Amino acid sequence: METWLQEVQLEGESVRLRPLRSEDRDALLKAAQDGALWSLWFTSVPSAQTIDQYIATALNDQAQGLSIPFVVEHKRSGNIIGSTRYCNAVVQHRRVEIGYTWYSQSFQKTSVNTECKRLLLEHAFVQLRAIAVEFRTHWHNHASRAAIARLGAKQDGVLRNHSIEADGAYRDTVVFSILDSEWPSVRKGLLFKLSQRQSVN
């Protein structure tokens, strides 16, 4: 499995996605403090109490060939402004999920998410030759569901009682996907959106 998902750095006009390292701990916490993002109960943004386990889990999944976790760097400032991840890879079916995505509040509703998704999708469909890329989000995360749909992904369905959260609550998960046959049109749409939005350079 390691031969399919290999570490890679992806670079766009204003952001750089580079593999997560343990030493990114403090910078990730600082990014999450912009908006106190961990307070949104339906997300998995790390806090001071969870950051060590967050990083350990991400790196362990990577070691098993299931994931490539990235930090999102703002190129002009060099600051880490969020994180995202290839995850739940199934090499024999050439399927992978893009998830665990969050950005500092100051960079939300900018071109950052569109640019990051364009980089990740391009690599998945062109270099990895994925046949489908999934997105999953909490039923109650309406902002995330809308953002995924705006990318051009289609909703596959809802996994009811998909998982048990730390407090014992049951989570319903909404699943979206983009197929390899859909990628050319989705790519054109993303490039158009990027051309219309103000860059965060």
Domain contains 23? yes
Tell me: the pLDDT tens digits for 17-70? 999 999 999 999 999 988 666 656 556 788 889 999 999 999 999 999 999 999
Edge-to-edge order in the sheet of strand 80-90: 10-11, 15-19, 68-74, 80-90, 95-103, 132-138, 170-179, 154-164
The answer to whether position 5 is within a domain reads no
Residue 3 forms part of a structural domain: no
Structural domain includes residue 91: yes
Residue 90 lies in a domain: yes
Task: Classify residue 4: in a domain, yes or no.
Answer: no
CA distance linking residue 32 with residue 27, whole number of Å? 9
Q: Outline where DSSP puts E strands in 3-147.
A: 10-11, 15-19, 68-74, 80-90, 95-103, 132-138
Using one digit for the tens of pLDDT, what is the confidence trace for 100-120?
999 998 998 889 999 999 999
Q: Which domain CATH number covers 16?
A: 3.40.630.30
Domain tally, the chain:
1
- By the 8 A CB rule, do 68 and 8 touch? yes
Question: Binning pLDDT at 50, 70 and 90, where does residue 200 land?
Answer: low
Phi, psi dihedral angles at 19 (to 5 degrees): -55, 140
Query: Which DSSP letter does residue 73 get?
Result: E
Selection from 58, 117, 60, 108 nearest residue 82 by Cα = 108
Residue 107: which domain range? 10-196
Asked whether residue 19 is domain-assigned, the answer is: yes
Amino acid 3: pLDDT: 72
Amino acid at 196: Q
In a domain, 185, yes or no: yes
